[in-house]
Structure 1
Amino acid sequence: MKKSGIIIYEDGVYWRFTTSGNVSIATAPSLSGPWQYRGALLPQGTKIFLRDDQDIWAPSISKRDNLYYCHYSVSYIYSQHSEIGVATSTSLEPGKWTDHGAIGFPQSLRYNLIDPYVFQEDPKSPTYFTFGSFWTGIQQVEMNDNQQLIAWVGQENDIQTIVGNTTVHPAVVEGATMHKFDNFYYILFSVGQCCREENDLVPPGDEYHIAVCRSNSSTGPYIDRDGKDCRAENGGTTILASHGDIYAPGGQGVITDPETGKMMLYYHYVRRSIGYTAEKFFFGYNYLDFNDGWPVVV
């Protein structure tokens, strides 16, 4: 459905951008907090209008030269009528962002325009934009230049599925993020059902959890640890699932710890002892160990 947010570290400060509240911005001196609310990225909301009860989900922050881009989703629960919008700024501060409205991806019955993420290995490499959930799964499109991040020009057939949802009993896949580590490209995504009421929980194992696939190329094909194709065979190796009081971790991202240089996984989750709805989400993080080429939560 939606990523909890994204973490940016700059000049000794952690910035967290989260779903709802017109993209809420908070800062902290460390991942453990204390987090201080700073304001809304889009205090007047978005130029995109779908219907009155729409919400702004899954902000994703990237930077090109001296300009920040915030891509976000506009949607509502259980809808495939969504849009991806973009705002830009020379600062991460609230009140400094210019909203450009929809980026221009075409509507399609085979995907949903939510959960954006921008990946570029280095400044000379191509930029890849991923989005999507439900339906056929996670989509990827190559961007030709930075202007495409604001106003995309292309055709639907330029958009390719890289993590699929196509078997007889498919699981929901959504909220993908891409990362390079050593010689592999990794795509992390959330699988299962999120944000249910206590009287409407799915069977154990079908709730939200975090999975990974990897490839020798940023465009795939991606496979899981068992060799299953992540596009055609619903592949995906679970790296974090419900355990003990922790329930339905997902909405994940990865950041490099500036002090240790290690990669850290961050995500939202709920505590069974407190409640299950999205309003009761907690923010969690763990280091990732890549000793055998596959990320393991430690």
Structure 2
Amino acid sequence: MGLISTPLFPRKQFFLHPVSPCVMFRTFFALLLTAALSCSTAALPAEFSPQPAYPLAHNSSLVAHDPNIIQHRGFYYLFKGGIGVPFSKSNTLDGPWEDMGPVLTGPSIIPKQNRTRPWAPAIIAKDNTFYCFYTVSHRGSNDSAIGIATSKELRSGAWKDHGAIIQTGTGPGSQKYPFKEANAIDPHVFIDPKDEQAYLIFGSFFSGMWQIPLSSDILSLKDPEHIDATRLATKPEDVKPNDEEGGFMTYRDGWYYFWFSHGKCCHFDPKHLPEDGKEYSIRVGRSKNARGPFTDKNGKPLTSGGGHVVYGSNHNKKVYAPGGLGVLSDRSQDILYYHFLNTSVGLRHTDAYMGWSYLEYINGWPVAKYEPVNSRA
């Protein structure tokens, strides 16, 4: 299709209303500029919106990478990666946050590298017990494990470390499918509201993200000898890197939503940032079944690299590479939370802050908003 479907200056208008060469040039240049901008926008990946299509993040003023939040007795409790899995408490997501100390007062009992600084915790509450799932691993490796600690109260020093529930790379069970090809990091536990079945969701790079049923006490796999594993999301084998991780599942109005982070998460060189859209962004697919298959807004399976972008970098990188996400259902309002960087502040691991956005569902698909909405309307 041509840039312009009709003549720039219809002859009848031209002779009735003479136009100076200067005006003609300005008009022609403006039309070319408009066409160029249209082509530039069209050149972006179809699933990625140009900046600043997304709202600014609400900033919690709390440094946190891979935050995980639960609500208990009127307070928010935020857990994050770090020495012993530190956690904080606040009565609002904006803070101020009270430091509550670490979950683990010593190294994890899992005999793997980096066990003093577990990653990406996931917290759930069930039957008056709190469960903290955590990652023990090191960068670029799948010699990893997911461990569990439990407590009857949200207090440092009150947690019991049960060790590993799954391992990859080395360790008991690591040579079974899917662990022999997966990476045991980034845990999330989803309890299906329909039947109370709990699922462990995990995975990063390597072979994508997986889901496995848990036993009723949530401390072990439902059937360790015959593992019923489902792959939820991955890129095609010929597409590298397989940079999808940090899965999170929710249920709303008959749909199961599978959320995840996509792109480069961290260790950015400020002089050589990745191409726009290649950094972390938050994506989602949905299904009528907790076990999938999940597809994005265009019907593309998540197991073929699909994923609808809900939130990405915006406002000239004041919000950059948002990811490590979770979703809170705070009464009638769903809230998406995540970590993000601000390129004008810094790109180090310690420059990541917890941010959050309200969610509105339009035709069953989540849209990030700055102002509150009734997401159940």
Provide TM-score, normalisation by structure 1. Answer: 0.93
Structure 1 residues 156 and 72: alpha-carbon distance in aligned structure 2, compared to 1, 3 A threshold: farther
For residues 29-73 of structure 1, the C-alpha deviation after alignment (integer angstroms, 9 at most, x for no partner) is: 100000111100001121012135763001111122111111110
Residue correspondence of structure 1 range 34-45 to structure 2 within 5 A: 34-45=96-107
Residue correspondence of structure 1 range 3-14 to structure 2 within 5 A: 4-14=66-76
Residue correspondence of structure 1 range 3-152 to structure 2 within 5 A: 4-51=66-113, 55-105=117-167, 106-107=173-174, 108-122=179-193, 124-146=195-217, 149-152=218-221
Residue correspondence of structure 1 range 172-183 to structure 2 within 5 A: 172-183=243-254
Partner residue, 1:205: 277
Partner residue, 1:219: 291
Measured in 2, the distance between the counterparts of 1:191 and 1:284 equals: 17
1:169 deviates by: 1.8
Aligned residues: 292
Please identify which structure carries the higher strand content: 1
Structure 1 residues 98 and 53: alpha-carbon distance in aligned structure 2, compared to 1, 3 A threshold: closer
Letter in structure 2 aligned against 1:236 = G
Counterpart check, 1:242 vs 2:313: yes
Provide TM-score, normalisation by structure 2. Answer: 0.74
For residues 87-110 of structure 1, the C-alpha deviation after alignment (integer angstroms, 9 at most, x for no partner) is: 011111111100011114532342
Structure 1 residues 134 and 29: alpha-carbon distance in aligned structure 2, compared to 1, 3 A threshold: same
Counterpart check, 1:169 vs 2:244: no
1:123 deviates by: 7.8
**Mean Cα deviation higher: 172-181 or 162-171:** 162-171
Measured in 1, the distance between the counterparts of 2:226 and 2:272 equals: 36
Query: Displaced runs of 4+ in structure 1, greater than 6 A?
Result: none
Structure 1 residues 123 and 62: alpha-carbon distance in aligned structure 2, compared to 1, 3 A threshold: farther
Letter in structure 2 aligned against 1:120 = I
CA contact (8 A) 1:27 1:36 kept: yes
1:126 deviates by: 1.4
What is the CA RMSD across the aligned residues, in angstroms? 1.8
1:121 deviates by: 2.5
Consecutive unaligned residues of structure 2, counting only runs of 5 or more, are 1-63, 168-172, 370-377
Higher relative contact order (Cα pairs below 8 Å, separated by 6+ residues)? 2
Counterpart secondary structure, 1:73: strand
Consecutive unaligned residues of structure 1, counting only runs of 5 or more, are none
Letter in structure 1 aligned against 2:327 = V
Measured in 1, the distance between the counterparts of 2:66 and 2:98 equals: 16
**Mean Cα deviation higher: 165-174 or 68-77:** 165-174
Letter in structure 1 aligned against 2:359 = L
